Structure 1
Amino acid sequence: MNPEKNVLVIEDDLELLDYIAEVLEDDFFVVKAESGERGVVLANELMPDLIMVDLSLPGISGHEVCRQLKRNEATNHIPLVVLTALSDENNLMEGLGTGVVEYLTKPFSPKELRARLVNLHANMCRIKERFGVTALSGAASADPRSESSRFLQKVVAIIKRNIDNPAFDVNFLAREVGFSRRQLQRKLKTINDQTPNELIKDIRLETAASLLKGRQNNVADVCFSVGFENPSYFSKSFREKYKMSPREFMAKHRS
């Protein structure tokens, strides 16, 4: 079991649900949901790395589960893997239209199931490393139109609007976004590999660096204008990021 990699499995066949959990337990922390309704609730509460859903669920169908998850800003970044006994083209196309990234057709081998999900998670990590961003740019992926990019740009814009407010914190940001603190923490860590606190601090410091290049600004004014109340903490944080003090940075870029 790996608590840092988690997958939500939505399957009404309890025997199959337990079997899937057993196959994946060496690589993932597995959360089980026995219905589409319960799966949607758990997806919002837990925001797992991956979601696996059976298309032939009673009540809310697997397709409807996928649609609901992709319409929800809190969960639309999570890759969906569907399990189906159906292989006709219409069913496949409907799934692709709701954001499905992997299909597994019953019956499947445990080796294939494990390999598909492990590889998918590894690909997610590679993409995150490749397209990881500077906070100020706000571009979370190669495609600026992607849901993750749009969400990150929205978050960055909110932080910038409140850049001079020292009381602006994770709780404030979560309220502005419309998420719980935990949802925001989970989503930002997934799409940008940063906690909300790290992102807020990065944007404050990157804004400070930009201001320090201006000839009319001094270190004290910049410190307070980007929301730092303690000049010593500002200087310490700035040095950690830029490997020089604010005064050294200012002198270098004004010479």
Structure 2
Amino acid sequence: MMKNLGITPSKTTILMVSVEQERVGLIIDRFMPRYEVLFAFDEDEAMHYLDRKIVTLIIGNASDSINKGFDLCKKVKYSRHHCHIPIILLVGKDSLSVKIRGFEYGADAYVETPVFAPYLEAQVNSLLKNRNRVKEHFETTSTNSFFTRRIDDCEESFIHEVDSVIQQYLDDPGFDVEFLAEKLHVSRPTLYRKIKCVTNFSPNDLINMARLDEALGLLSAGYRVYEVSDRVGYSSHSHFSRNFQKYYGMNPREYIANKKLSMVV
């Protein structure tokens, strides 16, 4: 019963890390201007970008030494803030040991060098489609459903951690994004980037959606509108009614009337 919140998609950002100069032009020609493409010299510079930008996918280089690319995988995939970001590694032909090690560190796909541009593009498109399917699921279901949906381990752990804090403070009118970030021990910008990348919603959207989903259940159980407003953390009953109307397309009293009518019919 979730209403479309009118989210406008932002431009997808691809981060290239330690990619050799002769391959940079090839990738730029293939992916710009459809995507925003960023460049990092090494994994440290890459992490600097990840802490400041919403990066959707990473292309790294593991073709010129056994260690290159693995440090990047470890830093990204072992980070609770960035582990959801897919990584493609560029590797030399017949690099089976490199590929095995890369998968152990969390690489999502490989493209052999010299790079065949259509194949790289196909890998990028496949990974981005998988990411978009997750976001689309979040956009078309209620918070009660997607907080219990099975996704990958990194995302599942994070989403359930977010849900646990939201449910704990759902009835507190002072609970907001700043408070949520504090309880999760992350900065507000980091929280925004992670939630936005995983769900396509903002943290404030998730808090509001959780409150309104809970409100729906309470109204269905027979609670009065003012009681529900207080129980889901709205300091103003009129603010609650306006948000409910925006989210569900009817105000709380109309919902109760429709519920009673459907029971009679």
Give your verdict on TM over 0.5.
yes
Q: Which amino acid aligns with 2:144?
A: L
Find the residue that maps to 1:136 and give its secondary structure.
helix
CA contact (8 A) 1:7 1:30 kept: yes
Q: Which residue of 1 aligns with 2:219?
A: 212
Q: Which residue of 2 aligns with 1:243?
A: 249
Q: Which residue of 1 aligns with 2:147?
A: 139
Q: Which amino acid aligns with 1:177?
A: L
Deviations 1:159-202 (A, max 9, x none): 11111221211122122222222222222122212111111101
Q: 1:17 aligns with which of 19, 24, 32?
A: 24
Q: 1:163 aligns with which of 163, 170, 173?
A: 170
Q: Which residue of 2 aligns with 1:227?
A: 233
* TM-score normalized with structure 1 length: 0.87
Q: Which residue of 2 aligns with 1:30?
A: 37
Q: 1:70–1:12: structure 2 CA closer, same or farther, 3 Å change rule?
A: same
Q: Which amino acid aligns with 2:45?
A: R
Find the residue that maps to 2:83 and give its secondary structure.
coil
**Are 1:102 and 2:112 matched, yes or no?**
no
Q: Which residue of 2 aligns with 1:184?
A: 191
Aligned-pair distance for 1:34? 0.8
Find the residue that maps to 2:108 and give its secondary structure.
strand
Q: Which amino acid aligns with 2:117?
A: P
Q: Which amino acid aligns with 1:94?
A: R
Deviations 1:27-72 (A, max 9, x none): 2100100112211222232240001111257797311210121111
Q: 1:89–1:14: structure 2 CA closer, same or farther, 3 Å change rule?
A: closer
RCO (CA 8 Å, sep 6+): is it higher in 1 or 2? 2
C-alpha distance in 1, partners of 2:120/2:146?
Answer: 35
Aligned-pair distance for 1:226? 1.0
Q: Which residue of 1 aligns with 2:127?
A: 120
CA contact (8 A) 1:3 1:28 kept: no
Find the residue that maps to 2:155 and give its secondary structure.
helix
CA contact (8 A) 2:66 2:98 kept: no
Unpaired segments ≥5 residues, structure 1: none
* TM-score normalized with structure 2 length: 0.84
C-alpha distance in 2, partners of 1:191/1:242?
Answer: 23
Q: Which residue of 2 aligns with 1:5?
A: 12
CA contact (8 A) 2:14 2:35 kept: yes
Unpaired segments ≥5 residues, structure 2: 1-8
Q: 1:60–1:161: structure 2 CA closer, same or farther, 3 Å change rule?
A: farther
Q: Which residue of 2 aligns with 1:81?
A: 88
Q: 1:61–1:21: structure 2 CA closer, same or farther, 3 Å change rule?
A: same
Aligned-pair distance for 1:5? 0.8
C-alpha distance in 1, partners of 2:10/2:26?
Answer: 19
